[in-house]
Amino acid sequence: MDFELGEQQTMVRDMVREFARERLAPGAAARDESGQFPADIFRELGELGLLGMLVEERYGGAGMDALTYALAIEELARGDASVAVGVSVTNSVCQWPISRFGSEKLKERVLPPLARGEVLGGIMLTEPQAGSDLASLRTTYRRDGDGYRLNGSKAWITNAGVGRFFVALATRDLAEGARGISAFVLDAEQPGVVVHPPERKMGLRSSRTCMVTLEEARVEADGLLGEEGRGMQVALATLDHSRLGIAAQSLGVAQAAMDEALRYCKEREQFGRPLIDHQAVGFRLADMNTELEAARWLTYRAAWLSERGGRYTRTSAEAKLLASETANRIVAAAVQLHGGYGYSREYTVERLYRDARVLTIYEGTSEVQRMVLARLLKELDSTAPA
């Protein structure tokens, strides 16, 4: 096994790390306070090639592998998780399924502006009554000439109001369940796409998240991803991949909390010596760092496996589950180590605590990951390598 990053991977990681340290981290608290979407930062991210990481170069993308993408998302989240989630969404749940399932005509039409960062993207999957249970979604579609019309409501849509192209899931007949679901690429800059006011969230406050109503929203003929009735397969494949981004975000948030905890425990003195020199504190920091490293290498392995052409559902779910749960434990511990200061907005760990909470919820809750893993364990050949 070779655990060394390649030259290109190291270069991208270091470049994004510097950008996150110099451009994202200094203004993260102010953006959290205002809740304003940082359009200027996203323009810079586009210029750096970070808004089309997974798209082939012939469509204007950077053509990065999944591990390089995960490294970039981790570093962005270390600087500001609100920015990282917007970058992850436009790359992973929008551009990746278009690249994988879209027609050549669709790719040529929508990927270049997305990959160059001229527009952002997202996915319209969750609904007010359908989250983990995708088969129960109620947004419908019907044929209209050579295209389609979509009607329904979508909830918790990241990049809504600031993005243009969205992968949208809809059913042709509620009675068909999963067999009736198809996946489309919807242009949100049209009449019939109503974006509601941003949600007032606990964390990730400068990431735009809205409810969206579709009223006879038009999808062009080439906007169908894959075949009709195969939308569930598109969604599940996309979620397998997008969990890598959530796991990477979790690593970045956890690392930021680890950085803050170490800094504070080295500087803060109690009973005549730095906190880190007290055994209970030192041991806790050691456990935090060990858990973080374990989550990091499972995430990197999942990203590596995703490029090998085989099934990586299990490892992706494991990485998302472990990384997101680990991030929440590490951030909570960092707040505790700060004592009363950890409860103050003057300290970074307070924001990290709020940002981390959603990591075990979106892109499939921890409970859903365990359901997926339990099902796969039933199918597992105990004599086969993991």
Q: Which among 168, 210, 203 is positioned nearest to 360, based on CA atoms? A: 203
Q: What is the pLDDT of residue 130?
A: 84
Identity of the amino acid at 283: F
End-to-end CA distance of the chain: 15
Q: What is the pLDDT of residue 246?
A: 98
pTM: 0.95
Q: What is the pLDDT of residue 342?
A: 97
- Pairing assessment for the beta strands 140-144 and 147-158 based on DSSP bridges: antiparallel
**Calpha distance 111→87 (Å, rounded):** 15
Looking at the chain, the number of H-run helices and the number of E-run strands are 12, 10
**Calpha distance 328→150 (Å, rounded):** 38
Q: Which among 324, 317, 361 is positioned nearest to 131, based on CA atoms? A: 361
**Calpha distance 31→38 (Å, rounded):** 8
Which residues on adjacent β-strands are paired with residue 151?
Answer: 140
362: alpha, beta or left, given left = phi > 0 and alpha = psi -120 to 50? beta
Q: Which among 161, 49, 183 is positioned nearest to 106, based on CA atoms? A: 183
| Active site residues per annotation | 363
Q: What is the pLDDT of residue 311?
A: 85
pLDDT mean for each 10 residues of the chain (386 residues): 90 98 98 97 98 97 97 98 98 98 97 98 94 88 96 98 98 91 97 97 98 97 95 96 97 98 96 96 98 98 93 95 98 98 97 98 95 91 56
Q: Which two tokens stand for residue 303?
A: 């990203």
Residue 66 Cα distances to 53, 108, 139, 244, 369, angstroms: 9, 22, 31, 8, 20
Q: What is the pLDDT of residue 381?
A: 66
Q: What is the pLDDT of residue 135?
A: 84
Q: What is the pLDDT of residue 382?
A: 57
**Calpha distance 199→63 (Å, rounded):** 33
